[in-house]
């Protein structure tokens, strides 16, 4: 007697055992599960199973209520009469006709009348019924509705039904059906077996309702009917008792027997099912959602089958176990009844002898069975299907448990394959089950138990695979690992890399009833070393496509993709670790579904990929239309907005903020790993805007652009294009460009004089705008300009930042919008530098006048303090200040300190000279971001600066410096007797090697300085001639390279400059304000102690000026960064850019060049009379080469006075394409075309050449003349 603990679910279909309280049908066999409610608290069973039910995903707006769900589960799952699937199948059969089709309303009324469901819930099942009528009529209505073929076909509609219902729906899968399937193998069922009740009746009456309670412990009792010679199972009763499993093993030993292994793993099932927290840790999704119910069914089936066989063994009595071949090969502990083993023994021994002996034994069994037909003893069936446990030396001593068919297939690679094939044919001929299964133990490092289909043993032998598939072996039959579904024969073939078996199994699935089984192709299997139910280990596995992507080649992956196989939960791991070619194929196929495209949007599919793999995957997705469309839909769904109208708030808001947050985090993730791909992704989501009214507000096609700024951007809440101030600012109309002449001619008194003068002055300056075709697009990402995205861009290396701005117009639009916000700050920076320069210049020109020097000192010091505070702000933000800013602040403080308080007696010239030079260079450097007076200063300065930072440039500088230093050291050693000559020697070295002057030797004393002359000349040649030319070429090449990407460089410089002001916090600004104020207060206190009242006043004025500049900078920075921090209603980035002209292809350029040459070679025909055809006009030069076989065509065109330069090439091409020869057009021997055919060919030529009436008439006359001449004799064309 087996005692077991199981959690029975009173609500969900997920655990079918709990659905049978006391099931009795028209046969004398029944299964009952009477669980004692009093023991429910022992294992927390009710709560555990409710949690298991809740793991099933439900629709957000399901059509079925909780009451509907309870009613459906009252009927229960399975295919017996009275179950819910039986009711649905019955209504389907009653709701169609050959002439009227399927009646949906009648079907729904039938379901409602028999189940009392709500009409909206019953309507969900009409989806499956209509699908069955359209696609599965032959498989379901003309065969058993609960047969394998029908269920496999209808499975395609199951997800839609579950989503519509929103609750757990009872299925055909039931414990009863599995137990019947197992017992039917040994004919242990009564005459009316389980399959009888899935056929339905003409009339549905008295549908019973079965309910059950819950209890933690299960006890199985089997009763046999022994009135006949062969026993039959009359009842199976499962009752819950209070039993405790004492002394359970910590792990399953590898040397355990198969019954001991089953005992251990059954205890693991019961322990896990009784502990919700333990199950959650051991069985991660999707195991806990979909595979746990099936595992419970298989577990109970195994439990009940063993109990039934034990009862049969007891009923038949003990008999001696015969010797089956070698004693050591067979296990002593067998699961099958001894009587069954005695029947199987002769068959197994005959199989070891040979195929003839096996066939003779099979015939003997058939004859004996025929003689005992009245007693109903299935001798042959039992002998063929009795599982025997034996140890296989070829498999490392693993235990196998299976029928004779399994034994032959397992030994096929060690025996004569031809003889085994014949033996297999004999077994299949005598009705051996091709879908028989076998067990194997141990599997993996945790000693799991595997339950496999016999097809899994045939992978290395193609004839065996074909033989079983011809007998309708199921290529998608579920395998088990520790009672839980784990793969299929196809999964096993992929695991073992058996290419032939993979192809055959896929072909067999295609030709089966209902077509390829999508569920079978996507079957999930556990890794042997990561099996379910192992203590302290998370189960892990792959579906078929995931496994093939990681272990097989590209060809096998394409085969699975063609069968619509998909990746599952291991998608990130597979895409990150499979070969690159496989990743390309998977990216094109997998992301064509909305679910997987959503995984890109929320970032879950990108977690494990590195930058290169992420770039490859997204490039393939964006390259192909179908996955790109799915990605766009997923992005639209995540960023969908809805209108809000209330008392406090009106406008738009995000419909799903959490999805939007995940989408932006995914974008940042892509930006970190693959910046260029992030640019492509953003560009792909920039589309044409929605039109408010195309007739009233057409989209602008032409607008004005600044010559140096070929783009306009706007960041607005608008989603639709409408005319107005927004449209005019985004795409300025070309009519707004006014000339000076028009302004002067339209001068009147309607406007103020000042305004008109300003317009005239502006028009007098050369206009820096140009009208061009434009493209207006809207970025579908709302609120894309935000601080976290900007910081992610700032964290990129400079090279990557330049790259994304160069390649992506969307990122350029982001940078340009930030630049527009920060222009006041940058102008303030330029103004302070210019102010420093002006104050120093005035100071220098009036250095003796104190009334001028002191105000200049105050202005200069205030500007220097602003530079110093900017350095401190950068340090507060943990950013390295610019080198230019450090120089300006450092040398500025030196100048202010030396002349503190406007001291006229201080030596000011060295610091002033340095600061004047720095202020000029600083102004030019800061103006690199602008276009002063329309000059492309930044476009030329930035490439120079960038080229000077390349590795090639620095390497050449190091080489030149090394030669200069070496020459200098040699000269110093030679002139060491004069220590004061070291500096002149350095100058002479520079003059000789770089400038070319002979300063290191005396040209008059040639003989004395001969060696020096030769050495210096050689160094001069190497340094000045060779290296300097290489250096110039390297610098020029670097400049050209940087000049080609100046658009990205300028955008990157602007972006980095803007971020210097955006990364400062309020605390940092207050801290800098306090520090600088205290420093100035300390200096003022020192001057007060020293009695320098004038200096004290000047310091106060300088501090006040700095505070004004600092406050202005703070205000501008706050206004510029405010949109980045405050994300209100959704805003969209609009981009208007010039239309990019496509470059002509190489073929198009070559064709245009040929056409130009032909036009140039065509002579003028002005001297020829248009009406005189007596003389042929001058023709262009003939083509240099015409094939000899087509020379007749050239002569024919010449005789008709056609332009060869214009028509010969086309005529030759026409003749080649249509395979036209001389006789087809002009006649000739007997094989030539007749007159009608020749005229037809000529009309084809005239149409192909597009000739007018006159040249066409000449061609017809020439053909008639030549054909008439040929009828009288040969004619020579001249």
Q: Tens digits of per-residue pLDDT, 1160-1184?
A: 555 544 343 334 433 333 344 444 4
- When pLDDT is cut at 50, 70 and 90, the band that residue 72 belongs to is confident
1237-1244 contacts: CB < 8 A, separation 24 or more?
1238/1263, 1238/1267, 1239/1263, 1244/1214, 1244/1218
Q: Which of 328-342, 546-560, 1111-1125 has the lowest mean pLDDT?
A: 328-342
Assess whether 747 and 825 both reside in one domain: no
> Which pLDDT score is estimated for 1171?
41
Number of domains in the chain: 4
> Which pLDDT score is estimated for 198?
45
Res. 511: pLDDT tops 70: no
Q: Can you give 82-97 as a three-state secondary structure string?
A: CCHHHHHHHHHHCCEE
Assess whether 973 and 888 both reside in one domain: no
Q: Which of 191-195, 614-618, 1004-1008 has the lowest mean pLDDT?
A: 191-195
Cβ atoms of 869 and 1076 closer than 8 Å = yes
Question: Which residues, including other chains, have CB under 8 Å from residue 852's CB and lie 6 or more apart?
Answer: 842, 843, 846
Res. 332: pLDDT tops 70: yes
Compute CA distances 1198 → 1178, 1191, 1226, 1278, whole Å. Answer: 12, 11, 14, 9
Assess whether 922 and 819 both reside in one domain: yes
Q: Which residue has the higher pLDDT, 741 or 922?
A: 922
Strand partners, 224: 233
> Which pLDDT score is estimated for 40?
24
- Among 1126, 1154, 1169, the domain boundary falls at 1126
CA atoms within 13 A on the CB side of 568: 20
Assess whether 1111 and 1137 both reside in one domain: no
Share above pLDDT 70 across residues of the chain, in percent, rounded to a whole number? 73
Q: Which residue has the higher pLDDT, 111 or 1158?
A: 111
Backbone angles phi, psi at 374, to 5 degrees: -65, -35
- When pLDDT is cut at 50, 70 and 90, the band that residue 413 belongs to is low
> Environment class of residue 632 by beta-carbon count within 10 Å: exposed (0-12), middle (13-18) or buried (19+)?
middle
Q: Can you give 1019-1080 as a three-state secondary structure string?
A: HHHHHHHHHHHHHHHHHHHHHHHHHHCHHHHHHHHHHHHHHHHHCCCHHHHHHHHHHHHHHH
d(CA 732, CA 730): 6
- For residue 345, being part of any structural domain is answered with no
State the DSSP H helix or E strand holding residue 102, giving kind and residue range, or none if neither.
strand 101-102
Backbone angles phi, psi at 774, to 5 degrees: -130, 160
Q: Tens digits of per-residue pLDDT, 341-377?
A: 888 888 888 888 888 888 888 888 888 878 776 566 7
Average pLDDT over residues 1227-1237: 70
Cβ atoms of 156 and 518 closer than 8 Å = yes
- For residue 1160, being part of any structural domain is answered with no
Q: What is the mean pLDDT of the chain?
A: 75
- For residue 283, being part of any structural domain is answered with no
> Which pLDDT score is estimated for 996?
58
Q: Tens digits of per-residue pLDDT, 893-936?
A: 999 999 888 888 888 888 999 999 999 999 998 888 888 877 78
Assess whether 840 and 921 both reside in one domain: yes
d(CA 402, CA 454): 9
- When pLDDT is cut at 50, 70 and 90, the band that residue 331 belongs to is confident
Assess whether 737 and 697 both reside in one domain: yes
* Helix, strand and coil percent figures for the chain, each rounded to 5: 60, 10, 30
Assess whether 871 and 978 both reside in one domain: no
Cβ atoms of 274 and 45 closer than 8 Å = yes
Res. 2: pLDDT tops 60: no
Q: Which of 70-84, 510-524, 900-914 has the lowest mean pLDDT?
A: 510-524
- For residue 62, being part of any structural domain is answered with no
- Among 1142, 1172, 1198, the domain boundary falls at 1142
Res. 512: pLDDT tops 80: no
> Which pLDDT score is estimated for 553?
83
Q: Which residue has the higher pLDDT, 1166 or 693?
A: 693
> Which pLDDT score is estimated for 69?
80
Compute CA distances 71 → 45, 107, 111, 161, 198, whole Å. Answer: 22, 18, 12, 17, 21
- For residue 330, being part of any structural domain is answered with no
Q: Locate tokens 């109903």: which residue?
A: 376
Domain range spanning residue 1019? 951-1038
- For residue 710, being part of any structural domain is answered with yes
Q: Which residue has the higher pLDDT, 435 or 324?
A: 435
Average pLDDT over residues 386-415: 82
Closest to 861 measured CA to CA, from 610, 1076, 631: 1076
* Most confident residue range from 244-248, 757-761, 1269-1273: 757-761
Q: Tens digits of per-residue pLDDT, 423-457?
A: 888 888 888 888 888 999 989 888 899 999 888 88
Q: Which of 208-212, 753-757, 871-875, 1165-1169 has the lowest mean pLDDT?
A: 208-212
Distance of CA 419 to the CA centre of its chain: 51
> Which pLDDT score is estimated for 18?
30
> Which pLDDT score is estimated for 695?
66
Cβ atoms of 443 and 449 closer than 8 Å = yes
Average pLDDT over residues 707-711: 82
Assess whether 1009 and 1090 both reside in one domain: no
Radius of gyration of the chain from Cα atoms? 46
Backbone angles phi, psi at 30, to 5 degrees: -145, 155
Q: Tens digits of per-residue pLDDT, 948-971?
A: 888 888 888 888 888 777 777 766
Assess whether 1215 and 1258 both reside in one domain: yes
Report strand pairing: 690-691 vs 720-721: parallel
Q: Tens digits of per-residue pLDDT, 116-169?
A: 888 888 888 888 888 888 888 776 765 567 666 677 677 777 778 877 887 777
> Which pLDDT score is estimated for 1009?
60
- The two tokens of residue 797 are 């290396």
Q: Which residue has the higher pLDDT, 7 or 541?
A: 541
Assess whether 1135 and 1115 both reside in one domain: no
> Which pLDDT score is estimated for 322?
53
Share above pLDDT 90 across residues of the chain, in percent, rounded to a whole number? 8
> Environment class of residue 239 by beta-carbon count within 10 Å: exposed (0-12), middle (13-18) or buried (19+)?
middle
- For residue 1157, being part of any structural domain is answered with no
Res. 887: pLDDT tops 50: yes
Res. 459: pLDDT tops 90: no
Average pLDDT over residues 670-699: 83
- When pLDDT is cut at 50, 70 and 90, the band that residue 1101 belongs to is very high
- For residue 882, being part of any structural domain is answered with yes
Q: Which residue has the higher pLDDT, 580 or 1140?
A: 580
Assess whether 1109 and 1135 both reside in one domain: no
CA atoms within 13 A on the CB side of 1116: 21
> Which pLDDT score is estimated for 513?
40
Assess whether 918 and 991 both reside in one domain: no
């Amino acid at each position: 007697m087996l005692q077991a603990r199981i959690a029975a679910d009173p609500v969900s279909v997920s655990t079918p055992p709990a659905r049978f309280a006391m099931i009795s049908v028209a046969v004398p066999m029944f299964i009952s599960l009477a669980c004692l409610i009093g023991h429910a608290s022992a294992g927390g069973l009710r709560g555990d199973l409710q949690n298991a039910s809740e793991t099933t995903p439900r629709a957000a707006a399901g059509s079925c209520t909780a009451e509907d769900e309870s009613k459906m589960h009252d009927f229960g799952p399975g295919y017996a009469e009275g179950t819910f699937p039986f009711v649905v199948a019955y209504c389907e059969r009653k709701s169609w006709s050959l002439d009227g089709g399927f009646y949906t309303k009648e079907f729904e009324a039938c379901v409602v009348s028999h189940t009392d469901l709500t009409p909206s819930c019953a309507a969900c099942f009409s989806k499956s019924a209509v699908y069955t009528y359209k696609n599965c009529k032959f498989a379901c209505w003309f065969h058993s509705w609960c047969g394998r073929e029908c269920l496999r076909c209808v499975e395609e509609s199951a997800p839609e039904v579950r989503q519509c219902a929103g609750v757990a729906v009872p299925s055909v899968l039931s414990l009863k059906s599995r137990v019947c399937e197992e017992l039917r193998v040994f004919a242990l069922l009564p005459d009316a077996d389980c399959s009888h009740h899935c056929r339905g009746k003409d009339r549905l009456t008295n549908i019973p309702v079965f309910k059950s309670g819950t209890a933690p412990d299960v006890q199985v009792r089997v009763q046999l009917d022994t009135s006949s010679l062969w026993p039959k199972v009359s009842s199976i009763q499962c009752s819950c008792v209070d039993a405790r499993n004492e002394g359970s093993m910590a792990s399953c030993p590898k040397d355990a027997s198969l019954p001991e292994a089953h005992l251990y793993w059954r205890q693991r099932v019961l322990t896990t099912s009784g502990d919700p927290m333990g199950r959650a840790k051991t069985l991660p999704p999707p195991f806990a959602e979909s595979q746990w119910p099936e595992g419970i069914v298989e577990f109970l089936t195994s439990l009940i089958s063993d109990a039934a066989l034990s009862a049969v063994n007891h009923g038949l009595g003990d008999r001696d176990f015969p010797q089956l071949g070698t004693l050591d090969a067979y296990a002593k502990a067998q699961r099958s009844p001894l009587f069954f083993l005695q029947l199987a023994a002769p068959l197994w021994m005959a199989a070891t002898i040979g195929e003839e002996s096996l066939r003779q034994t099979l015939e003997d069994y058939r004859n004996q069975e025929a003689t005992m037909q009245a007693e109903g003893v299935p001798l042959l069936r039992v002998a063929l299907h009795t599982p025997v446990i034996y140890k296989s030396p070829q498999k490392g001593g693993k235990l196998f448990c299976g029928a004779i068919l399994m034994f032959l297939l397992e030994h096929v690679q060690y025996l004569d394959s031809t003889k085994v094939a014949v033996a297999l044919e004999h077994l299949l001929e005598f009705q051996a089950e091709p879908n028989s299964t076998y067990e194997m133990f141990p599997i993996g490092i945790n000693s799991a138990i595997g339950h496999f289909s016999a097809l899994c043993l045939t992978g290395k032998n193609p004839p065996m695979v074909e033989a079983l598939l011809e007998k309708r072996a199921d290529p998608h039959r579920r395998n088990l690992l520790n009672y839980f579904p784990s793969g299929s024969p196809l999964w096993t073939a992929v695991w073992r890399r058996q290419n032939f078996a993979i192809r055959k199994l896929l072909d067999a699935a295609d030709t089966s009833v209902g077509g390829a089984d999508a569920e079978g192709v996507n079957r999930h299997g556990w890794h042997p070393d990561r099996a379910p139910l192992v203590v302290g280990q998370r189960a892990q596995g792959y579906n078929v496509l995931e496994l093939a992507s990681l272990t097989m080649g590209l060809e096998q992956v394409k085969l699975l993709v063609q069968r619509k196989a998909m990746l599952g939960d291991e998608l990130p791991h597979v895409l990150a670790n499979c070969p690159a070619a496989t990743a390309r194929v998977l990216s094109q196929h997998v992301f064509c579904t909305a679910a997987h495209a959503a995984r890109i949007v929320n970032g879950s599919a990108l977690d494990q990929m590195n930058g290169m793999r992420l770039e490859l995957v997204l490039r393939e997705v964006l390259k192909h239309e179908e996955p790109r469309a799915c990605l766009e839909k997923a992005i639209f769904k995540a960023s969908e907005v809805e209108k809000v109208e209330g008392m406090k708030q009106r406008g738009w808001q995000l419909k799903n903020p959490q999805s939007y947050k995940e989408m932006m985090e995914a974008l940042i993730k892509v930006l970190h790993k693959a910046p260029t791909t992030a640019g492509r992704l953003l560009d792909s989501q920039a589309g044409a805007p929605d039109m408010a009214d195309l007739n009233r507000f057409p989209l602008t096609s032409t607008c004005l652009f600044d010559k140096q700024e070929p783009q306009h951007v706007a960041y607005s809440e608008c989603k639709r294009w409408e005319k107005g101030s927004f449209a005019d600012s985004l795409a300025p109309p070309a009519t707004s460009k006014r000339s000076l002449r028009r302004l002067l001619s339209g001068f009147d008194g309607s406007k103020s004089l000042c305004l008109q003068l300003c317009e005239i002055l502006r028009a007098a300056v050369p206009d820096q705008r140009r009208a061009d075709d434009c493209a207006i697009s809207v970025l579908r990402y709302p609120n894309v300009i935000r601080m976290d995205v900007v910081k992610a861009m700032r964290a990129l290396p400079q090279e990557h930042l330049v790259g994304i701005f160069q390649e992506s117009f969307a990122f350029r639009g982001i940078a340009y919008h930030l630049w527009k916000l920060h222009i006041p700050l940058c102008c303030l920076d330029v103004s302070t530098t210019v102010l420093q320069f002006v104050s120093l210049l005035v100071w220098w020109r009036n250095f003796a006048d104190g009334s001028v020097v002191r105000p200049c000192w105050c202005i200069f010091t205030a500007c220097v303090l602003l530079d110093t505070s900017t350095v401190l702000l950068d340090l507060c933000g943990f950013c390295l200040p610019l080198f230019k800013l450090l120089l300006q602040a450092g040398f500025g403080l030196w100048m202010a300190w030396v002349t503190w308080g406007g001291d006229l007696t201080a030596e000011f010239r060295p610091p002033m000279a340095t600061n004047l030079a720095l202020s000029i260079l600083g102004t030019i450097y800061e103006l690199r971001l602008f276009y002063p007076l329309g000059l492309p200063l930044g476009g030329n300065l930035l490439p120079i600066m960038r080229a000077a930072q390349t590795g090639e440039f620095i390497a050449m500088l190091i080489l030149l410096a090394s030669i200069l230093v070496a020459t200098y050291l040699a000269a110093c050693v030679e002139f060491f007797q004069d220590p004061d000559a070291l500096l002149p020697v350095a100058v002479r070295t520079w003059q000789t090697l770089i400038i070319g002057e002979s300063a290191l030797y005396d040209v008059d004393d040639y003989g004395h300085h001969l060696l020096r002359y030769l050495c210096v000349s050689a160094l001069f040649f190497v340094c000045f001639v060779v290296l300097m030319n290489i250096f110039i070429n390297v610098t020029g090449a670097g400049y050209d390279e940087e000049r080609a990407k100046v658009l990205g460089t300028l955008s990157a410089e602007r972006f980095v400059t803007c971020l210097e002001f955006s990364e400062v916090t309020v605390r940092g600004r207050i801290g800098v304000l306090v520090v600088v104020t205290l420093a100035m207060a300390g200096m003022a206190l020192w001057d007060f102690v020293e009695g320098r009242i004038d200096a004290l006043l000047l310091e106060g004025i300088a501090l006040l000026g700095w505070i004004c500049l600092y406050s202005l900078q703070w205000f501008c920075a706050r206004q510029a960064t405010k949109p980045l921090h405050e994300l209100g209603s959704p805003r969209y980035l609009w981009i208007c850019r010039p239309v990019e002209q496509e470059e002509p292809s190489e073929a198009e350029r070559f064709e245009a060049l040929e056409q130009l040459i032909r036009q140039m070679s065509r002579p003028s025909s002005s001297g020829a009379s248009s009406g005189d055809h007596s003389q042929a006009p001058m023709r262009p030069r003939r083509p240099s080469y015409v094939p000899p076989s087509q020379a007749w065509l050239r002569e024919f065109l010449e005789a008709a006075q056609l332009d060869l330069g214009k028509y010969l090439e086309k005529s030759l091409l026409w003749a080649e394409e249509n395979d036209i020869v001389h006789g087809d057009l002009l006649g000739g021997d007997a094989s030539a075309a007749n007159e009608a055919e020749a005229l037809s060919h000529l009309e084809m030529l005239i149409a192909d050449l597009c000739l007018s009436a006159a040249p066409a008439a000449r061609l017809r006359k020439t053909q008639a003349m030549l054909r008439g001449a040929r009828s009288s004799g040969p004619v020579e064309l001249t």
